[in-house]
């Protein structure tokens, strides 16, 4: 460990500052049964200011999870159902003529919220997708001649349905790359589903209570940045990312013709940020290799391009990431 960083002090401080994480998880746990990985991913996105792409079949409580998170941090939540006839104005807002004032005034769209759920983002045409992605990147929206900063914290959680690809507009690679994490959500276990069933046929549905305010998130974010990351961990992250670009240099020659493009520099940035957030959620003041491995799949799975050869041999990005993690030397 580095001499100029007092790990013991930092660890104690992070333990104190991260106490709210357990409370949030407990409150969300009242409403959402299971889905631990989804809840952790939402917290990582929130703490590292990164947007999330959620993929899973309908009915897995994606909307409910985001809505519940918004309740626990007292944030404004809005849900936009993406459809083929949606227009950018339906998302960001538009200029409306007011007869009373005899002038145009701005009517803001549903994007003006802290947590925005973009449901089935691949259902809408490129124009609408790019309007959303501009807002994600620039943290501002232009309506007519006026530019408005978006409320902070601002987090987009976009969902994709993996089953129906009929009549959808897949997100281009460059746009998918802007999402910090791509989280795959699976079905609940049998016992979890029993509890879900009981909750939903009970007289009253459980509700989450408020734990903190949106402005407390900023304080938490600056603490997350203080989580210590050793140079060896930085090197580990770089090795993982570079192994997806030059597999033969990392004894992964078999993937040389399987990968059409490797992970972008955003992958390195997001791996570092997500690892720090993961360590923070685990109430630790320093990053260990296990933190990097825990977030690796969600950060990398949408950043590796596969060739036709890989698809013919049923090689997925999951296979490649697994092999990269098994081959790259752990510090």
Indicate which CATH number applies to the domain containing 48. 3.40.50.300
pLDDT given at position 2: 47
In a domain, 14, yes or no: no
Same-domain status, 62 and 155: yes
Per DSSP, the three-state class of 1 is coil
Q: How many other CB atoms sit within 10 Å of the CB of residue 5?
A: 15
Range of the domain at 279: 227-327
| The total number of structural domains that make up the chain | 2
Are 257 and 301 contained in the same domain?
A: yes
Does one domain contain both 168 and 211? yes
* Residue-level pLDDT at 4: 60
Whether 185 and 237 map to the same domain: the answer is no
> The whole model's pTM is what?
0.87
Instruction: Kindly state whether residues 197 and 263 are assigned to the same domain.
Output: no
Q: Is 167 exposed, middle or buried (0-12, 13-18, 19+ CB in 10 A)?
A: exposed
Does 202 reside within a domain?
yes
Reading the block at residue 289, the tokens are: 């290799």
Q: For residue 186, what pLDDT is reported?
A: 81
Select from 154, 186, 216 the last residue of a domain. 216
Same domain membership, residue 166 and residue 137: yes
- Residues 111-152 pLDDT 10s: 899 999 988 888 888 888 888 888 888 888 888 778 888 888
Q: Are residues 151 and 72 in the same domain?
A: yes
d(CA 156, CA 52): 6
Q: Give yes or no: residues 322 and 235 share one domain.
A: yes
Question: In this structure, how many other beta carbons lie within 10 angstroms of the beta carbon of residue 159?
Answer: 25
Same domain, 174 and 74: yes
Strands 103-108 and 140-143: unpaired
pLDDT at 294: 93
DSSP state of 121: G
Identify whether 78 is part of a domain.
Answer: yes
Residues of the chain with confidence (pLDDT) below 70: 1-5, 163-168
pLDDT of residue 163: 66
């Amino acid at each position: 460990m580095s001499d100029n960083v007092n790990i013991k002090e930092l660890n104690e401080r992070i333990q104190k500052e991260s106490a709210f994480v357990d409370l949030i998880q407990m409150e969300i746990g009242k409403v959402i049964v299971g889905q631990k990985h989804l809840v952790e991913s939402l917290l990582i996105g929130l703490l590292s200011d990164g947007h999330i792409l959620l993929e899973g079949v309908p009915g897995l409580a994606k909307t409910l999870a985001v809505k519940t998170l918004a309740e626990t941090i007292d944030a404004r939540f809005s849900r936009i159902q993406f459809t083929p006839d949606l227009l950018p104005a339906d998302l960001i807002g538009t200029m409306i003529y007011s007869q009373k004032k005899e002038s145009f005034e701005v009517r803001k769209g549903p994007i003006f919220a802290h947590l925005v759920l973009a449901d089935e983002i691949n259902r809408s045409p490129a124009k609408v997708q790019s309007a959303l992605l501009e807002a994600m990147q620039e943290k501002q929206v232009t309506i007519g001649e006026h530019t408005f900063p978006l409320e902070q914290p601002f987090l987009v959680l976009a969902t994709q349905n993996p089953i129906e690809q009929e009549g959808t507009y897949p997100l281009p690679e460059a746009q998918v790359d802007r999402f910090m994490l791509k989280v795959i959500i699976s079905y609940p276990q049998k016992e979890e589903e029993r509890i879900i069933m009981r909750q939903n046929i009970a007289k009253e549905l459980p509700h989450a209570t408020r734990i903190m305010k949106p402005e407390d998130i900023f304080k938490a974010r600056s603490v997350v940045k203080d989580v210590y990351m050793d140079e060896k961990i930085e090197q580990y992250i770089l090795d993982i990312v570079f192994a997806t670009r030059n597999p033969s240099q990392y004894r992964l020659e078999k993937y040389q013709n399987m990968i059409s493009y490797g992970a972008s520099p955003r992958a390195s940035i997001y791996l570092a940020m997500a690892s720090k957030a993961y360590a923070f959620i685990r109430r630790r003041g320093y990053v260990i290799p296990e933190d990097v491995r825990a977030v690796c799949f969600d950060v990398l799975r949408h950043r590796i391009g596969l060739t036709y050869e890989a698809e013919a041999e049923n090689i997925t990005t999951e296979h490649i990431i697994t092999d990269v993690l098994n081959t790259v030397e752990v510090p």
